[in-house]
Amino acid sequence: MFEMPSGAEIQSIISTLKGGAGYFIPEIYLSVLFMVLILLDLVTGKKNRGLLATATIAGLLGSVYFIFKQQTMPDVQFFFGMYALDRFGIFFKYFFVASGILAVLTTMVDDQLKKHESGMGEYYALLVAMVVGMMMMASSTDLLMMFLAMELVSLSAYAMTGYLKREPRSSEAALKYLVYGAVSSGMLLYGFSLIYGMTAETNITRISMVLAAHGYDPLVMILTVLLIMAGLGYKMGAVPFHFWSPDVYEGAPTPVTAYLSVASKAAGFAMLMRFFFVAVPHGFDMYVSPLHIDWLSILMLVSAASMIYGNVVAIWQKNVKRLLAYSSIAHAGYLLLGIITMDQLGTQAVLVYLAAYLLMNYGAFYVVILIANHTGSENLDDYKGLGKRMPLLGAALTVFLISLVGLPPTFGFIGKLMIFSALLAKGSLFMWLALIGILTSVISLYYYMLIPLNMYLRESNTPEEGVITTGMGAKIVTASLMILTLWFGLFFQPIANYAKYSTAIFGAFLN
Amino acid sequence: MMHSLIQLSIAVLLLPLLSFVVLIFFNRRLPRGGDFVGVGLLGTTLAIALYIFWTVIVQHYDPAFRLAWDFTWLDFGNVPGVGPLQVKMGIVIDNLTAIMLAMVSLISFLVHLYSTGYMKGETYYGRFFAYLGIFTFSMFGIVLSDNLFSIYMFWELVGLSSYLLIGFYFHKDSAADAQKKAFLTNRVGDIGMWLGILILYSQFHTFGYQEIFAHIKNGDFHMSQAWLTAAGVLLFMGCVGKSAQFPLHVWLPDAMEGPTPVSALIHAATMVAAGVYFMARIFVLLTPEAQHVIAFIGAFTAFMSATIAITQHDIKRVLAYSTVSQLGYMVLGLGVGSYSAALFHLLTHAFFKACLFLGSGAIIHAMHHEQDMRWMGGLYKKMPWTFVTFSIATLALAGLPLTSGFLSKDAILAGALGFAQVEGGGIFYLVPVFGFAAAVMTAFYMGRQVWLVFFGESRTHLKPAEEHGHDAHAAHGHDDHGHHEVHEVSWNMRLPLVILATLSVFIVFSPDPLDGGKGWFMHLVQTPATVVASTEAAHEGAKLHAPEAGKLLAEAHTDTQHVEAAPAAHAEAASNEGEGHGPVYADPRQAEIVHMTHANHWNAIKLSSLMLIAGIGMALIVYVFRIIDPDKTAQAIRPLYLYSFNKWYWDEIYDATIIKGSMLISKILAWFDANIVDGLVNGVATVFRKFAFFNGGVDKYVVDGLVNFTAFTVQTTGAVFRKIQTGKVQTYLVMVVFAVLGWFALYFAHLVK
Amino acid sequence: MLTEQLLSIGVNHFLTISVILFGLGMFAVMTRKNAIVILMGVELILNAANINFLTFSKYNGGMEGVMFSLFVIVLAAAEAAIALAIVINIFKTFKTVDVSSVDTMKE
Amino acid sequence: MLSLIVFLPIIAGLVILAVPSSQKQIIRIVSLLAALAQGVLAVLIWRQYDPTMAGIVAAPGGSPVGSFQMIERISWISLDLGSFGPLNIEYFLGVDGLSITMVLLTALISIIGVLSSWPIQKQVKGYFILYNLLSTAMMGCFVALDFFLFYVFWELMLLPMYFLIGIWGGPNREYAAIKFFLYTLFGSVFMLLVMIGLYFSVTDPLTGHHTFSLVAMADQANYIKGAILGPDSVTWRYVAFIVLFVGFAIKVPMFPFHTWLPDAHVEAPTPISVILAGVLLKLGTYGMMRINFPLFPEVYQAGLYVIGVFGAINIIYGAFCALAQQDLKKMVAYSSISHMGYVLLGLAAANTEGMIGALYQMFNHGTITAMLFLLVGVIYDRAHSRQIDKFGGLASYMPVYTGIVIVAWFASLGLPGLSGFISEALVFVGAFTAPVTRPIAMVSVLGIVFGAAYLLWSLQRMFLGKRKPDALYDLEVDADGHEHIHFHDWKGKLDLDARELTMLIPLVIIVIALGIYPMPVMGLLTASINKLVQVLAPVAMSAVH
């Protein structure tokens, strides 16, 4: 019943692809980088760690150039409307490249991975693959593309999580991540299939048009929504789809944990925003009751649950990585607040918050790694008295944590400020959410401050070893991250403006 | 340009302060602890004060003399709703001020002089004079100030100096207790005074006497008359504290822990009189109701403390209670409206009571700090000077004719009688009754004292030894002289006695030994007309005498000598009155009282003389001829005796109620603070330890850290939630599925209905 | 006769089957202890989705569904590869493929 | 000028950062110099200040900065928020009567603080860096006129304080530190929400955009109808007021929220106690006067009685608690609670006398309580204990110390001639004059007695009488009958040494001078207070009688 396409059609298809490829250069470039890295690993023997790392960083930096060139291009959808080139996507491209670079930097200082004798080639390759996947997640406009991108990210993430083969916790994490991820993406896929069934479309713009035009059967719609939310929520690590994250974050190699907790979460949000803002038709009668049947109420509950759960449970953690894992759940909740407002300010706030989160979370993990290199553990008790032994790192970590709490004058505070501004700009409508956010951030202060508490206020039970020295490079990275966190805390204008600029594409879809 | 008198009075005010400043910093560096500085400066002060006295009293000799000067102290700018607002500080000099200045500076100087002998060899000799200096300064402040705010400030400062001086032997616990007690008791009074001031300020936005009186006269007082009465009574509370009236009299006897010169200066002559002086200053705004309260409290105090004084053994305590009783007289006098009489008594009492205290000080000094009269006796031979002066003062206190005390006390009693009649008798007769009863007892206990101290055989040997030794060392910084014979005191202690004794003779105040009214004092310090709107309509007495009052007023216009206008019934009495040209009282009640007072002049004299004779007679019978054995009597009426001896148990009562009470409250509140308010923390902590899943340290900080009950909930929820994270990936999946299905079910239900 | 029956097969039949498959897959994933069986469950889920796609593609016309299912099949293969690698690694370290016994990290 | 006085300490902190931590003396001197320079600047500002200009609020239609002085106003952040117009955050400093008083106080206290930090040996470098950070934050709070800026400084205070208590504090310091941190943060996070809410409810009349400028916010005309905190949304305005009030009340600290204070004080080292009681507590009441009340005058008017009642509770409750304390420092801490109650009472009076009293009380309490804590520190250094009952008779052996103690104690119990009296008196005058608070004032005067009670009692127990049998010092009598005492392991001078005197004497002089003639300070604030009363209390003005 399907007749073969004629030659002419094939010609046109090819030409379209060629045309589209022009807008696809960063992705292509990074895919090439991916292969180059594997080859590099093969040609150079085992003693290639430094080389690979530098190559990766160089490559990623290179990609910035191509992304920058895209800024001048017009917003287009290409590959038959499967993929879009727009400011929103570009913002996230920058974001993911940056996170990739930071991931490499963190990897370079991590002793755990150093001890890991087998080559690191695959590691860096996978890292780059993940960058590509996340870029695609951010800019896909078609269900199929979204699914593929998401799978690409997930698969590389599984591999990276389990990269420490000798480390039981790493393997366990990988297994849990895999099973959980596979099921979640299965649900997502099923949801997609239902949408496809309802609209006979896979392009999100057209989907929204069809849904708006013909309406839909609410029951099926609910099911679809829930299934898709399960898939996206898993990426974002939001309650109640977060269960994988604490274990995975704890088990995975710390650089990977950082990478997942920042980058893939961000990718999840990027995709959510695109899908939620574009594909879902919303009339403006959405603020009826939190229990009203729509995406918004689901997101509200998810966000509230994430903020409360993440912060409350984090109080209990004694392992710093796990603590940060739970806190990242809470942060997912805060980010969702920005999306809920469904307006430009909210979106802008989310982007700013993500940028802040990138800096402060990576900073925190970076210092945690450096400390772990010396203490060999991530347990709170082993942080006692470290403040005196590593003044710079201690100060930096404190700054990052304060920023995570959201106290001025740090970038984290700006993130929270903008999120809450977005909420209150809607009047008293979302006051309850704002209150939850505020109160939970007070709770978060408590567990975040446990770390400085141990570092400064308590004497280490082991005899004083004197100052711990870290490499100059590490010092520079930490210091620059700290300074950036503080700098953007005081002068956040450029980033906020750029975020605003990037949200412009939703103008039509947001009120 | 300030009037020269003002400048002089400022000098009078500041010189003692100078002496304080110099001595407090340099007393150790100066020779003789710098006492000459104190004495010298006070001498100068005295000279200036006397000059002021001379100019005002002798030269002007004008009842209406008044001189005022003030400056802006606080400037509140242009206050919304009020307009420009300042708080002014100022000085006022009138006859009363001049007299007080002279009196205070004189006694203060004498006490300085006396102390050079009495305090010789004390550890903190120099500091003592510094304290005297600051006291004198603040006392002058009270006398000179022209507004409520500044008088309140100096009031407190006087309290401070009294605090310091009572606690001069601060290493004695009794002294430390006494000084604290004095200060706190006074503070209680001051609260009332402060509230009274606030009532007036809240109406007029000023503190100045004249402004306030003017406002009240114009009827600017917008609250009810009751508030004005309240203001009067509250202001009177300040006097109750300072002048040791019932119920705040308890501190004064304990204050005798201070060195005797201090007792003479502060706790007999000047400071305690400040209360009366203050009441005099605000006399005109007292409503009749307020005056009743004052009169009764005064009368009761006079009576009560007299009863107590009868049975005391400590020579200074007897005097202390007699002081309280005499102050009671003054307050009574003010209460019954015989203003000038009260102030007259203030003056005379200052002299003879100071004389008595200094005399007792001389005795104590000579007896090596023996204060118990039971162990004295037969001193008249050994200390003739002291004996003579002491007995003169005693007679003055007892109110024997030819003494100053007679003049003033009699005037007050006359006033009391008049008051009782005007108010329509009944309950109001209690006031004079108390007064006369007190007079009897005064005569009695003073007689007793003189006899016990000066006559009979020396009973020193009867004293249980250990007690004696203890006292001597405790009371004395260090024992410079051993136990040699009792001897007359040196000149610098004798001179003050003589001066003060001479000042206790009638001639100083009035040519007529029987009528102070003829004296210069009563002429210069005349009862001012009240500014309170008359509320006589309700008044028994006023109804009674309304016609006279009216006539009196009518004719007062034609002829200022309202005395002639007085009804014939009182003509004879009236003609005896010295007031050729007294003031005219618009307020009928006041006019009545003044009038009846004069009417009762002779009755008062007769009665009080009777009382005096009775009292001294009793004393003779009991102690001289020993017809009645005091101890046996004491046994016979033991409960009464104990009641008096233990000062009506007021200390015990207060201790049991107020002090214990507030300590209890404070304990309770502190507990409440530590355990309830804060302690959702600790409470939670205890509850929580049962939930403690790990290292007690951390969970303590967890719990205490989160300082409120949410801590608990947060903790427990956290503890429950984290259990969800089982570590088994399949349970995770189950939960996700449940979540999805749950939501689906929820919405399904929502949808179908 | 067989053909009528075949012709009478409609969307609902396909969807029913896919739902059943999905449910079975979910059930397997949630209950089976053996990692391999769990992976099979995942495959069932994916294929349930595939059936949907193909069905809708057939009845809505248009090729997206077909493409979708093709890609899903490919991805399923890739996922299986990685999954097996991880499972083998688990077996090496834990000497078991019983998922429920792999729970060193919790709370 | 203001920027300089605010950021001098931070500069000093950076300098210290460069100094090797072994050079303790240099570090100390650097901070001292910074503090002194701050003091000089403060005096210069004081000299330049024109007390006739009121400040508080922009004159309607007048200049955007009102009659504030030494304005420094540059745009800091300016974002385009699309439909919400540009987000304008300004770096906006300025002083009026409210600020200048507190600026002087802060400068003074910081100098004292540095001096009293001299003996600290543990991690000197870190200590002084944090100290300087703290003093910048405090100063900034007092001069910031942009809510956002204020908030930044406000939160900036928490962390240094947390570490200063937590690292250099007493045995139970962790608890005290985290308690302080959580309490104050709990108070301030809500402030964030209110701040944002206000931002969306206020427009700057000149630019027509939303603004964080407190000067604009203080003018009710600038509020947008229908905005969340607009004039018509009564409920939310009440909520916002209460939230803000609680936030500031925690700092004050006001009755139910005060429990962090005793712990913090008892654990904190002496200089930090001085700073805490001397300046930080004032931030609470300052915030009320600068932000809470002018922005919500009608709510304030409605709440006068409640505020007054809380003030009275503070006064009496604090006094009672102090009466029961065994630890001298704890007693002083509770006395702070009691004295801040006077400030609240004065604020509740809503008339000039009360407000002047309140602000002046803030200043005086700053100086007096600083003395108290310094004196407590002196005895603690010597005896390593603050148990009131473990001394006795000190007056005989430490006359100078006792002398200054008596001055401080009496200043604290409000003796005329010392500055504390005037402010307390004015508070009562105001509270009694205002009909609303009259009954409250009549109750609160009890505080006068109980205040005297606990102070005199402690004075007696520690300094008067004889050495207690279990006293913490040894007493020996030499040949010629002179008694000498010495504390175990105290090498220094028994009585006050030079450093302690240099800290205390200036305070003594200030306390006495301002007690005799308060206008030098009071003159600064009358104009502003009158203006404030106008802004706040159209109702109260008619109700003076």
For chain C, what is the mean pLDDT? 87
The pLDDT of residue A291: 38
Distance CA(C66)–CA(D439), nearest Å, equals 85
- Reduce the DSSP state of residue A162 to 3 states and report it: coil
Q: Does A122 touch chain C (CB under 8 A)?
A: no
Is D190 close to A438, i.e. CB distance below 8 A? yes
Q: Which two tokens stand for residue B453?
A: 């101290």
Is D325 close to B670, i.e. CB distance below 8 A? yes
The pLDDT of residue A157: 94
Cβ(D528)–Cβ(D335) below 8 Å: no
Cβ(A358)–Cβ(A98) below 8 Å: yes
**What does the pLDDT average to over A259-285?**
82
Query: Which residues of B are less than 8 Å from D438 in CB distance?
Result: 202
Is B733 close to A179, i.e. CB distance below 8 A? yes
Range name among A341-355, B205-219, B272-286, B367-381 with the lowest pLDDT average: B367-381
Distance CA(D231)–CA(D214), nearest Å, equals 17
Instruction: Quick: pLDDT tens for D338-379.
Output: 999 999 999 998 888 899 999 999 999 999 999 999 999 988
Cβ(B463)–Cβ(B375) below 8 Å: yes
Q: How far is C100 from chain A (nearest CA, A)?
A: 10
- B–C interface: beta-carbon pairs under 8 A: 27
Instruction: Estimate the share of chain A in helix, then strand, then coil, as percent rounded to the nearest 5.
Output: 80, 0, 20
Q: Which two tokens stand for residue A362?
A: 């990576």
Peptide bond into B247 cis (omega under 30): yes
Strand partners, A194: none
What type of residue sits at position B25? F
**What does the pLDDT average to over B272-276?**
88
The pLDDT of residue B472: 43
A with B: 3 or more CB pairs under 8 Å?
yes
pLDDT of A284 above 60 = no
Cβ(A368)–Cβ(A378) below 8 Å: yes
pLDDT of A135 above 50 = yes
Query: Which residues of B are less than 8 Å from C30 in CB distance?
Result: 730, 733-734, 737
DSSP string, A251-313: HS-HHHHHHIIIIIHHHHHHHHHIIIIIIS---S---S-TTSSSHHHHHHHHHHHHHHHHHHH
Is C107 close to B733, i.e. CB distance below 8 A? no
Confidence of residue D307 (pLDDT cuts 50, 70, 90): very high
pLDDT of B580 above 50 = no
Of D174, D537, D545, the CB nearest to B203: D545
The pLDDT of residue A508: 65
Instruction: Quick: pLDDT tens for C17-49.
Output: 999 999 999 988 888 888 899 999 999 999 999
Asked whether the CA dihedral D43, D48, D49, D52 is positive or negative, the reply is positive
Which chains are within 8 Å of D by 3+ CB pairs?
A: A, B
Instruction: Quick: pLDDT tens for D409-421.
Output: 999 988 888 998 9
pLDDT of A238 above 80 = yes
Is A316 close to C107, i.e. CB distance below 8 A? yes
Cβ(A305)–Cβ(A239) below 8 Å: yes
What count of other Cβ atoms lies within 10 Å of the Cβ of residue B47? 13
Instruction: Quick: pLDDT tens for A16-61.
Output: 888 888 888 999 999 999 999 888 888 886 666 788 888 999 999 9
Confidence of residue D62 (pLDDT cuts 50, 70, 90): low
The pLDDT of residue D478: 76
For chain B, what is the mean pLDDT? 78
Element (H or E) spanning B14, and its range?
Answer: helix B4-26
The pLDDT of residue B74: 87
Torsion of CA D496, D497, D500, D501, to 10 degrees: 80
pLDDT of A1 above 80 = no
Query: Which residues of D are less than 8 Å from A421 in CB distance?
Result: 87, 196, 199-200
Single pTM value for the model: 0.88
Confidence of residue D59 (pLDDT cuts 50, 70, 90): low
pLDDT of B684 above 70 = no
pLDDT of D329 above 70 = yes
Please provide residue D470's backbone torsions phi and psi, each rounded to the nearest 5 degrees.
-100, 30
Is D530 close to B80, i.e. CB distance below 8 A? yes
Q: What percent of chain B has pLDDT over 90?
A: 6
Output Rg (C-alpha) for chain A, integer angstroms. Answer: 22
pLDDT of D52 above 80 = yes
Question: What ipTM was estimated for this complex?
Answer: 0.84
Q: Does B663 touch chain C (CB under 8 A)?
A: no
Cβ(D159)–Cβ(A456) below 8 Å: no
- Reduce the DSSP state of residue D476 to 3 states and report it: strand
The pLDDT of residue B571: 39
Which residues have CB under 8 Å from A27's CB, separation 6+? Answer: A132, A135, A136
Range name among A27-36, A365-374, B518-527 with the lowest pLDDT average: B518-527
The pLDDT of residue B542: 41
Cβ(B609)–Cβ(B552) below 8 Å: no
Q: How far is A445 from chain B (nearest CA, A)?
A: 10
Is A298 close to B743, i.e. CB distance below 8 A? yes
Confidence of residue A463 (pLDDT cuts 50, 70, 90): low
Q: Which two tokens stand for residue B316?
A: 């200074």
Range name among B687-691, D171-175, D398-402 with the lowest pLDDT average: B687-691
For chain D, what is the mean pLDDT? 87
Of A427, A435, A446, the CB nearest to D182: A446
Is C49 close to A151, i.e. CB distance below 8 A? no
Q: What percent of chain D has pLDDT over 90?
A: 35
Which segments within D19-143 are labelled E, that is strand? 69-80, 86-95
Q: Which residue ranges form the domains of chain C, and what is each CATH number? A: 12-94 (1.10.287.3510)
- Per-residue three-class SS string for B327-371: HHHHHHHHHCCCHHHHHHHHHHHHHHHHHHHHHHHHHHHHCCCCC
Query: Which residues of D are less than 8 Å from A452 in CB distance?
Result: 163
Query: Which residues of B are less than 8 Å from C31 in CB distance?
Result: 730
Q: How far is B678 from chain D (nearest CA, A)?
A: 5
What type of residue sits at position D354? G
Distance CA(A326)–CA(A105), nearest Å, equals 23
The stretches of B600-693 forming alpha helices (DSSP H) are 601-619, 630-636, 638-645, 650-654, 660-671, 680-689
Q: Is A391 exposed, middle or buried, given 0-12, 13-18 or 19+ CB atoms closer than 10 A?
A: middle
pLDDT of A484 above 90 = yes
pLDDT of B203 above 90 = no
Of C29, C38, C100, the CB nearest to B728: C100
Of C29, C31, C103, the CB nearest to B727: C103
**What does the pLDDT average to over D376-394?**
85
Q: Does D135 touch chain B (CB under 8 A)?
A: no
Instruction: Quick: pLDDT tens for D99-127.
Output: 999 999 999 999 999 999 988 888 888 89
Tell me which chain A residue has its CA closest to the CA of residue C11.
Answer: A197
Candidate ranges B194-198, B730-734, B735-739; pick with highest mean pLDDT? B194-198
Is D82 close to A344, i.e. CB distance below 8 A? yes
Q: What percent of chain B has pLDDT over 70?
A: 84
Q: Does A189 touch chain C (CB under 8 A)?
A: yes
The Cα-based distances of D314 to B163, B359, D319 in angstroms read 28, 50, 8
The pLDDT of residue B714: 64
Confidence of residue D39 (pLDDT cuts 50, 70, 90): very high
pLDDT of C94 above 80 = yes
Is A407 close to D155, i.e. CB distance below 8 A? yes
pLDDT of A295 above 60 = yes
Which residues have CB under 8 Å from B489's CB, separation 6+? Answer: B117, B362, B365, B366, B383, B385, B386
Candidate ranges B541-555, B684-698, D13-27, D468-482; pick with highest mean pLDDT? D13-27
The stretches of D202-291 forming alpha helices (DSSP H) are 214-217, 234-251, 260-267, 270-275, 281-287
Q: Which two tokens stand for residue D275?
A: 């700073």
Candidate ranges A265-269, B316-320, C61-65, D538-542; pick with highest mean pLDDT? A265-269
Confidence of residue B570 (pLDDT cuts 50, 70, 90): very low
The pLDDT of residue A188: 93
Distance CA(B336)–CA(B279), nearest Å, equals 12
Tell me which chain C residue has its CA closest to the CA of residue B727.
Answer: C106
D with A: 3 or more CB pairs under 8 Å?
yes
Of D174, D481, D518, the CB nearest to B74: D518
pLDDT of A468 above 60 = yes
The pLDDT of residue B583: 64
**What does the pLDDT average to over B418-439?**
83
D with B: 3 or more CB pairs under 8 Å?
yes
Is C104 close to A168, i.e. CB distance below 8 A? yes
pLDDT of C107 above 60 = yes
Of C62, C85, C102, the CB nearest to A200: C62
Instruction: Quick: pLDDT tens for B638-656.
Output: 777 777 777 777 888 888 7
Range name among B485-489, D157-161, D351-355 with the lowest pLDDT average: B485-489
Q: Does D172 touch chain B (CB under 8 A)?
A: no
Cβ(B72)–Cβ(B88) below 8 Å: yes
Q: Which two tokens stand for residue A27?
A: 């992705």
The pLDDT of residue A145: 92
The pLDDT of residue D11: 92
Confidence of residue D64 (pLDDT cuts 50, 70, 90): low
What count of other Cβ atoms lies within 10 Å of the Cβ of residue B6? 19
Query: Which residues of D are less than 8 Å from B705 in CB distance?
Result: 175, 178-179, 182
Of B722, B725, B730, the CB nearest to C100: B730
Of A416, A427, A445, the CB nearest to D185: A445
Which chains are within 8 Å of B by 3+ CB pairs?
A: A, C, D
The pLDDT of residue D545: 40
Q: How far is D167 from chain A (nearest CA, A)?
A: 5
Query: Which residues of C are less than 8 Å from B737 in CB distance?
Result: 26, 30
Number of continuous H segments (helices) and E segments (strands) in chain C: 4, 0
The pLDDT of residue C21: 93
Terminus-to-terminus CA distance in chain D, angstroms? 43
Which chains are within 8 Å of A by 3+ CB pairs?
A: B, C, D
